[in-house]
Chains A and B, each alone.
Chain A
Amino acid sequence: MIKLDKVSKKFGTGIFGLSDVTINVDKSEFVFLVGPTGSGKTTIFKLLIRETLPTEGAVTINDWNIIKLPKDKIPHLRKKIGVVFQDLKLLLDRTISENILLPLEVAGVRLEDARKRTDEVLAQVGILEHKEKFPVQLSGGELQRVAIARALVLSPEILLADEPTGNLDPATSWEIVKLLADINEKGTTVIMATHNSDIVKSMDKRVIGLEKGKVVRDDKKKKEDNPPSHKTSSSVKTSEDELKGRGKEENHSAHKVSQEKREEKE
Chain B
Amino acid sequence: MKFLKTMLRNVRRSPYQALAAILIMMLTFLTISFFVFLLSGSSRVVSFFESKPQVTAFFKNETKQQEIDDVAKKVKSTETVSSVKFVSKQEALKIYTEQNKDDPLLLDLVTADILPASLEVSTYKIEDLAGISKTLKSSPLVSDVIYQKDIISTLVAWTGAVRKIGFALVVVLSLVSLFIMVTIIGIKISQKKEDIEIMKLIGASNWYIRWPFIFEGMFYGVVGALIGWTIATLALWYSTPFLYSFLKGIPIFPIPVDFFFIVLGGELVFAILLGFVSSFMAVLRYLK
Contacts and interface: CB of A to CB of B under 8 A. Distances in A.
Interface in B247-281: none
A166 B268 CA distance: 53
Interface stretch (A31-39, A74-82, A123-131, A254-262): A74-82
Interface residues of A, number: 22
A79 B197 CA distance: 15
A251 to B, nearest CB: 33
Interface in B1-57: 2, 13
A32 B208 CA distance: 34
A115 B197 CA distance: 24
Contact of B203 (A75, A89, A91, A111): A75
Given A72-B205, A83-B201, A102-B199, 15 more contacts: A75-B203, A75-B205, A78-B200, A78-B201, A89-B197, A89-B198, A93-B195, A102-B204, A103-B202, A103-B203, A106-B203, A106-B204, A106-B208, A150-B202, A154-B203
Interface string A84-111: 0100011101000000001101110001
B199 A49 contact: no
Contacts, number: 43
Contacts of B201: 49, 51, 78, 83, 85, 89
A107 B203 contact: yes
Nearest to A78: B203
Interface residues of B, number: 13
Contacts of A106: 199, 202-205, 208
15 contacts: A51-B201, A75-B200, A75-B204, A75-B208, A76-B203, A78-B200, A78-B201, A78-B203, A83-B202, A91-B195, A102-B199, A105-B2, A106-B202, A106-B203, A111-B2
Which of B2, B195, B202 is packed against the most chain A CB atoms within 10 Å?
A: B202
Given A93-B13, A105-B2, A111-B2, A79 B195 contact: no
A135 to B, nearest CB: 12
Nearest to A76: B203
Interface of A: 49, 51, 72, 75-79, 83, 85, 89-91, 93, 102-103, 105-107, 111, 150, 154
B110 to A, nearest CB: 75
Contacts of A79: 202-203
B198 A91 contact: yes
Contacts of B202: 78-79, 83, 102-103, 106, 150
Contacts of A90: 198
Contacts of B205: 72, 75, 106
A195 B2 CA distance: 40
Interface string B188-229: 000000010111111111001000000000000000000000
Which of A75, A105, A107 is packed against the most chain B CB atoms within 10 Å?
A: A75
A85 B197 CA distance: 12
A108 to B, nearest CB: 9
A98 to B, nearest CB: 9
Which of A78, A106, A150 is packed against the most chain B CB atoms within 10 Å?
A: A106
A75 B201 CA distance: 8
A91 B199 CA distance: 9
A111 B202 CA distance: 18
A202 to B, nearest CB: 31
A78 to B, nearest CB: 4
Contacts of A51: 201
Contacts of B199: 102, 106
Contacts of A83: 201-202
User: Which 7 residue pairs across A and B have the least CB separation, nearest first?
Assistant: A78-B203, A79-B203, A106-B204, A75-B203, A89-B198, A75-B205, A103-B202
Contacts of B204: 75, 102, 106
